[in-house]
């Protein structure tokens, strides 16, 4: 009986240590000043697929070097499409909030910066509705960075 209790205690202590490590890791992944990025308009567009079904896609439209471009976005996971429907509700536009985060590798101590993307709508009574999104492809990420870098020169359109 004492051996079982000892194993349970060790297991509980191990779980506690892992939970504390996870909490520390989350604290290190802080979001930094999202105000240094422009707020772009993320539009919901209905399109018919080759199978005849209607799909909703999400885009930021802009102009880069005289060319019209569209940057495609997806929710971070498959269940996110339902959340995006709630965020958009009856509207077809939401703000794309871009933030910068940092992550620290526990083994090397190396800090890595990354961008975060959130589709956000605020309803009439001030309630904020949001869902994490990501550029669909690497090419979309490249186009988005071009738009952000060119935003001060009027390159981003709604």
Backbone φ and ψ of 79, nearest 5°: -70, -15
Distance, CA of 44 to CA of 154 (rounded, Å): 22
Domain ranges in the chain are: 1-28, 33-153
pTM for the complete prediction? 0.70
Question: Is residue 34 very low, low, confident or very high in pLDDT (cuts 50, 70, 90)?
Answer: low
First to last CA, the chain: 69
Tens digit of pLDDT for each residue in 45-98? 998 989 999 989 999 999 999 999 999 999 999 889 999 999 999 899 999 999
Phi-psi region of 131 (alpha: psi -120 to 50; beta: other; left: phi over 0): beta
Distance, CA of 114 to CA of 101 (rounded, Å): 5
Cα 87–chain centre separation: 13
Distance, CA of 90 to CA of 79 (rounded, Å): 19
Residue 122 scores a pLDDT above 90? yes
Note the pLDDT of residue 36.
Answer: 75
């Amino acid at each position: 009986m004492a051996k079982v209790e000892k194993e349970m205690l060790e297991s509980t202590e191990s779980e506690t240590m892992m939970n504390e490590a996870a909490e520390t890791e989350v604290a290190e992944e802080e979001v930094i000043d999202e105000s240094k990025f422009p707020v772009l308009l993320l539009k919901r567009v209905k399109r018919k697929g080759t199978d005849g079904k209607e799909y909703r896609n999400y885009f930021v439209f802009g102009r880069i070097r005289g060319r019209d471009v569209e940057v495609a976005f997806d929710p971070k996971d498959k269940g996110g499409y339902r959340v995006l429907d709630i965020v958009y509700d009856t509207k077809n536009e939401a703000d794309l909030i871009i933030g910068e985060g940092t992550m620290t590798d526990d083994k090397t101590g190396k800090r890595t910066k990354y961008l975060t993307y959130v589709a956000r709508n605020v309803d009439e009574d001030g309630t904020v509705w949001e869902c994490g999104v990501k550029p669909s492809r690497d090419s979309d990420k490249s186009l988005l960075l071009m738009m952000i870098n060119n935003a001060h020169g009027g390159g981003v359109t709604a």
